[in-house]
Amino acid sequence: MQSVPSQAIRPLSLNASLSSSRLPFFSFSLPIFHKFKINPSIYNKSQKVPLFLTLRCCSSGSVTAKPSSELRRNRDVQEPDEKVVALRRLFSKPGIGIDAYIIPSQDAHQSEFIAECYMRRAYISGFTGSAGTAVVTKDKAALWTDGRYFLQAEKQLSSSWILMRAGSLGVPTTSEWLNDVLSPGGRVGIYPFLFSHDAAKELKEAISKKNLELVFLYDLNLVDEIWKESRPKPPNNPIRVHDMKYAGLDVASKLSSLRAELVGTGASAIVISMLDEVAWLLNLRGSDVPHSPVMYAYLIVEVDGAKLFVDNSKVTKEVMDHLKNASVELRPYDSTLSEIKRLAAQGAQLWLDTSSVNAAIVETYKSPLDKYCSNHGSKGKIKNKRYDESNGLSEGPSGVYMRSPISLAKALKNPAELEGMQNCHLRDAAALAQFWCWLEEEIHNNVELTEVDVADKLLEFRAKKEGFLDTSFDTISGSGANGAIIHYRAERGSCSVVDPNKLFLLDSGAQYIDGITDITRTVHFGEPTAREKECFTRVLKGHIALDQAVFPENTPGFVLDAFARSSLWKIGLDYRHGTGHGVGAALNVHEGPQSISYRYGNTTPLQKGMIVSNEPGYYEDHAFGIRIAAKLVDISLISDDEIEWLNNYHSQVWEKVSPLVEGSARQWLWNNTRVIHKR
């Protein structure tokens, strides 16, 4: 899928992601950093957008979510939670003195997937979904999560916790809730390494309206204090060099382009904290984080040098030589703040992406910088292009606060990255053909398989493919009602047996040395109901509509989101997640800055070289979940053009994947890519 100038707009195309319901862009024509100037006024002005829209349709009136109080199971009798009780005991200790404590999901790098030792919110609450925020006061405990995890949270939270279904009607935000339950003058504690500067600033302003104070607890994470010896050790896995044949561009060239950006903005250095940005810029990969080939590190790039802050024990000789060739120095991971202080004391103009750099780093920079300014006069000598809400651009060494230029440069894939993504998708498609062939045969032979058995077997097929490294996220293997849990994770001992008379949803992906995949399929091994077929077909129609969309250059993804939902909306249905996300090239499976989503605050244009998924769905709570398949198509609901789209897609799958499989898997592929005849 690609956007082209409005004078010659073309439809989207599904070229390489043949095994998936995902939709990539495959072209590249722009330099990696230049010409992507960011308007700081757009970046800095916060946009207030609703988290949930009330929809109107002819057949069923308003479509809104019920308040969490109506959907939670009966919790009139609260059970004591020993972890929460222990956490509260710390509130009154000397040097702490707080009335509430917020525990987010993130690590210090704002990662989506994090190492086990940083899963503090999961430890304190018992909820293991990747997104959520826990808040503990002296007498209450509440957890916020989004629509992908409502059902999972209902199952995992004890009666001591209040489930806040974020974005639903009548559910307050964390700051609104704190303003309501705490008395004026109350103190809200956070560990500032786990909050971006922007998030901390927004929280501070929101709770100050009710005279609450935000307290930064730099030296102590309260969850770690009660986790103690049982807390897992930080990861210590070796780093590897990402080969040039997959990276497509050497480190020296990337650093040169980045330094040109620094000069253009008046910055003397940039602090890079997002793990995938560090990995991409230095052509390095790691395995510190489950499902993501990254390593825990910070990177500071100056006009005349660069320093990588990482645990030295992870650095092999090959990596050391690789970094020396790029003139990148090594520093201990825990010395990052010391270097920030040193640069600030010298009056350095640091470029900080405050949407991702944590509050601890930004505040560490500001304090000595203020001292430098007072010693050298109010204006200083260094040009500053920081956006100021009151008067625009201002002078003085106070930092450059704009979005990281690496985010967009990384999103625009070069030819080598695109080739790697295409190749790994084909190998992955072959693994999936073998897997589905096996699964259908087992089900038809009445073999009892659990959801975990199925996920393990898929991993077995993938692991045999060239370049396989790991899964790209926990496989979602859901039979029947479990398929309705958007990010369901089956666990041995408590999962379901795959029921041949119910819909089965499989959402999975893999990391390969040359790329990453993200694939969803929904199947029925018996006869689906008319309701299931209609819901599925409407999801399929949305997928096709998005694939065929024609749009002008500079169109942001939120404009296209309705294409994928319109068929569902016609009968009063919707889904509680975005339609498409960026995908990294041999990096994170979820990547920004682009997306296709109803969240219209993201104004990033879709551009040549971006890879974006196409994954509409429908989830009927406690019944089934749907993404994409073929057997479930109700031909009476689709047009001749849509039938032609399906036939063309199946033709491409057969042509490109069949040479990679043989025997029964090849026959299965043939049976499932047959021509669908028009009515």
- State the CB neighbour count (10 A cutoff) for residue 194: 25
> Average model confidence (pLDDT) for the chain?
86
Distance separating alpha carbons of residues 331 and 600, to the nearest angstrom = 40
End-to-end CA distance of the chain: 29
The number of angstroms, rounded, from the C-alpha of 94 to the middle of its chain's C-alpha atoms is: 38
pLDDT tens readout for residues 305-331: 999 999 999 999 999 999 999 999 999
- pLDDT at residue 103 tops 90: yes
Strand ordering across the sheet containing 611-612: 23-24, 611-612, 580-582, 591-596
Query: What domains appear along the chain, each with residue ranges and CATH number?
Result: 80-230 (3.40.350.10), 240-374+396-406 (3.40.350.10), 415-673 (3.90.230.10)
> In which band, very low, low, confident or very high, does the pLDDT at 648 lie, cut at 50, 70 and 90?
very high
- The answer to whether 256 touches 305, Cβ cutoff 8 Å, is no
- The answer to whether 603 touches 594, Cβ cutoff 8 Å, is no
Buried b (16+ CB within 10 A) or exposed e, 607-631: bbbbbbbbbbbbbbeeebbbbbbbe
**CA angle, 139 then 143 then 146, to 5°:** 160
- pLDDT at residue 75 tops 50: no
DSSP 612-649: E-----EEETTTEEE---STT--GGGS-HHHHHHHHHH
**Residue 465 class from Cβ within 10 Å (0-12 exposed, 13-18 middle, 19+ buried)?**
middle
Residues facing 522 on adjacent strands: 505
pLDDT of residue 68: 41
- The answer to whether 636 touches 608, Cβ cutoff 8 Å, is no
% of residues, the chain, pLDDT over 70: 83
pLDDT tens readout for residues 404-437: 999 999 999 999 999 999 999 999 999 999 999 9
> In which band, very low, low, confident or very high, does the pLDDT at 30 lie, cut at 50, 70 and 90?
very low
164 vs 54, 179, 445, 599, 623, CA distance in Å?
18, 15, 44, 19, 22
> In which band, very low, low, confident or very high, does the pLDDT at 465 lie, cut at 50, 70 and 90?
very high
pLDDT of residue 32: 55
- State the CB neighbour count (10 A cutoff) for residue 139: 8
pLDDT of residue 39: 39
> In which band, very low, low, confident or very high, does the pLDDT at 27 lie, cut at 50, 70 and 90?
very low
pLDDT of residue 81: 86
pLDDT tens readout for residues 585-605: 999 999 989 999 998 888 999
Structure tokens at 283: 């052509």
Distance separating alpha carbons of residues 133 and 1, to the nearest angstrom = 34
Cα-atom radius of gyration of the chain, to the nearest Å? 25
Distance separating alpha carbons of residues 562 and 614, to the nearest angstrom = 12
Percent helix, strand and coil across the chain, each to the nearest 5? 40, 20, 45
Better-scored residue on pLDDT, 374 or 578: 578
pLDDT tens readout for residues 651-674: 999 999 999 999 999 999 999 998
Distance separating alpha carbons of residues 49 and 43, to the nearest angstrom = 15
> In which band, very low, low, confident or very high, does the pLDDT at 638 lie, cut at 50, 70 and 90?
very high
The number of angstroms, rounded, from the C-alpha of 241 to the middle of its chain's C-alpha atoms is: 24
pLDDT of residue 369: 64
The number of angstroms, rounded, from the C-alpha of 431 to the middle of its chain's C-alpha atoms is: 25
Amino acid at 11: P
- pLDDT at residue 396 tops 50: no
- Any idea what DSSP says for residue 79? P
Structure tokens at 430: 């072959």
The pair phi, psi for residue 541, each rounded to 5°, is -60, -35
- pLDDT at residue 248 tops 70: yes
Segment 232-247 mean pLDDT: 96
Strand duo 213-216 + 624-626: pairing: unpaired
- The answer to whether 566 touches 544, Cβ cutoff 8 Å, is no
pLDDT of residue 374: 59
- pLDDT at residue 341 tops 90: yes
pLDDT of residue 53: 32
**Residue 322 class from Cβ within 10 Å (0-12 exposed, 13-18 middle, 19+ buried)?**
buried
pLDDT of residue 490: 87
